[in-house]
Amino acid sequence: MLKKKLYNQKDRSQLISELSKESFSRLTCSFYRYVSIESPNSLRDELYKEWIELNVLGRVYIAEEGINAQISVPKPNIDTFIELLNKRDSFIDMPIKYAVKEGQSFIKLVIRVKKEIVAYNIPKDEYNMNQVGIHLNANQFNKALENPEAVVVDMRNYYESEVGHFENAILPDVERSQELLPEVRTLIEHHKHKEILLYCTGGIRCEKASSYLLHHGFNDVKQLKGGIIQYAHDVKKGNIASKFIGSNFVFDQRLEERITDDVISNCHQCDHPSDSHVDCLNQACHILFIQCENCRVKFDGCCSIECKEFAALPLKE
């Protein structure tokens, strides 16, 4: 018997076509856990076999330090999926965060073994995952924000905070995760004895970041439990005023979840208010940028006239 291949073998058009014919709705959700995994490669194959049978799509990273998953699960299969998680001691009672905005988030299942589940690339002796910042829920975080001496830090890349962030937050001007921690440490070095409030998309980046800051002498580090995703659910459910303004950037095909009606960024082409991220349709460029509807039409979804003209060339050219 031929061994079943444990990776996607369909092209993009076929995957999209199959998705369009689905008769059920999907739940976009995410979870993570820092936990010791002895054999990431074996676990990777086991999870792929289990999850592909449930028609789970998404992007999952596994490392010796844990798991980081953003996935799309058919709604009829979510209970079975959670049961499978609970059968593994390492994944029992996994906190799962559900998307505020539904939509086609993923088209295939990709599970990769990585060195880290968040690519900070810092030495292991500069953090201890048994010593992390205090977790605050939405109410507690809002209350902490009232402290005029508190230092609020956005633990995301610049293109994420560009479209949405907490009021008065420090917004690091970095493009990659591995640049983030040294930059944040430099930005807040003179605030070591103040209350440090961290937040990120779903909480995972703040876990290691808070441990890193504690290791480097910051005395009072707290983090938003469940990140912006959980915060958005909590403020809506509890009728709490949102101190996060704008949209939450997400790393799937939706690209954003609107949290408030505020549009705090501008189109990169005409400078009119817009917070719609797109990838340039010139596949040779494919840069991520913000584009308003008028410019989308004017430039055919491209970032420049040059890319528009290039994308319009016949394939043989």
Mean pLDDT (10-residue bins), the chain, 317 residues: 65 85 92 96 97 97 97 97 97 92 83 96 94 98 98 97 97 95 97 98 96 97 97 94 94 83 97 95 94 97 96 74
Which of 200, 206, 292, 302 is catalytic? The answer is 200
Same domain, 302 and 273: yes
| Residue 244 within any structural domain of the chain | no
Contact predicate 57/51, CB 8 Å: no
Res 101: pLDDT: 65
Res 105: pLDDT: 84
Q: Which domain holds residue 301?
A: 266-311
Res 135: pLDDT: 98
| Residue 149 within any structural domain of the chain | yes
Contact predicate 273/266, CB 8 Å: yes
| Residue 213 within any structural domain of the chain | yes
Res 11: pLDDT: 84
Rounded to the nearest 10 degrees, what angle do helices 204-215 and 177-187 cross at?
Answer: 40
- Domains contained in the chain, number: 3
Same domain, 227 and 153: yes
Q: Sheet containing 66-74: give its strands across.
A: 97-98, 26-34, 66-74, 57-63, 109-113
Same domain, 44 and 139: no
| Residue 246 within any structural domain of the chain | no
Active site residue 307: no
**The last residue of a domain, from among 113, 138, 170:** 113
Report which residue type is found at 187.
L
Same domain, 56 and 144: no
| Residue 18 within any structural domain of the chain | no
**The last residue of a domain, from among 55, 85, 113:** 113
